[in-house]
Amino acid sequence: MEESALVITRPAPPRLPQAPGVLSIASVTEVVYQHLRLRILSGMTPGQPLRLNDVAAELGVSTTPVRMAIERLAGDGLVLQAGRKGACVAPLSLSDFQDIYAVRRGLEGTAARLGAGALTDSDISRMRLGLRRLDQIAASHKLQLDVYLEVEWEMHETCYRAAAHQRLLREIQAYRRQAERYFRLALHEGVNVRDDLEHQHHFFDACAERDPDRAETVAQLLLDWTVERVAPLIRNLPGTQEGPG
């Protein structure tokens, strides 16, 4: 089967309304946060400075929303803040990656177990549509990674939401954001998305059967598979640290 070409698009600077007062600080901060997050996930160099004045000038905003966005990115593990030295793109850390996935294994395994038995027919139908969409994306000659990961996550989140534990879901979402940088880099370096797709089919089957034990096992096996395949690639990527960042 012909391999899909991976397409990762570098985000263009966002267009903000020019009239004063149109957007609140919170709204502007969200736009800046999403823009910088996508830039980092699209391959900014670890250690690359993020200077407040430069980013503000580039995006046509004040430094206040830039500072607030950078603080959020630091919470996501994407940015390192060093006092007067300013902020920079966080270094890659193999141990950080392994720690994130160890936590995800516990959280997502629990959510899959609790959610699988509570899924409605509508939930299963939504997940089935998502799986079909993943099949279509993976079969495309040009693989749209952003779309694939978004659809994949929506399918998993449908199961996790069914567990009806909001704090658990928030923790899963937070660790997913921290993990995304590593997984994107690894896919870019050669992990075959069709291998991931096979695991997505197994996860859906477990959920469609409303089998808590199997859903938990498959969710954890998927994360274990990711660590097994991705860790060696991360170890060889430029800017990777073996120990904590």
Cβ atoms of 127 and 159 within 8 Å: the answer is yes
- The residue from 89, 118, 152 where one domain ends is 89
Query: How far is C-alpha 244 from the chain's CA centre?
Result: 20
Domain that holds residue 30: 5-89
Are residues 112 and 67 both part of a single domain? no
Are residues 81 and 104 both part of a single domain? no
Helix (H, G, I), strand (E, B) or coil at 181: helix
Residue 48's CATH number: 1.10.10.10
Section 70-83 average pLDDT: 88
Q: So what's the pLDDT on residue 144?
A: 81
Return the percentage of the chain with pLDDT > 90, whole number.
47
Cβ atoms of 92 and 79 within 8 Å: the answer is no
* C-alpha to C-alpha distance for 198 and 184, rounded to whole angstroms: 18
Return the percentage of the chain with pLDDT > 70, whole number.
84
Are residues 97 and 191 both part of a single domain? yes
Q: So what's the pLDDT on residue 5?
A: 46
Q: Provide the number of structural domains found in the chain.
A: 2
pLDDT digits (tens, 9 = 90+) for 125-164: 999 999 999 999 988 877 787 888 899 999 999 999 999 9
Can you give the length of the chain in residues?
Answer: 245
Are residues 30 and 84 both part of a single domain? yes
pLDDT digits (tens, 9 = 90+) for 159-198: 999 999 999 999 999 999 888 888 777 666 666 778 889 9
* C-alpha to C-alpha distance for 3 and 140, rounded to whole angstroms: 9
Are residues 99 and 80 both part of a single domain? no
Q: Which of 154, 166, 176, 4 has the alpha carbon at shortest distance from 104? A: 176
Q: Which of 15, 117, 108 has the alpha carbon at shortest distance from 58? A: 15
- The residue from 73, 89, 105 where one domain ends is 89
pTM, two decimals, is: 0.77
Residue 104, pLDDT > 90, answer yes
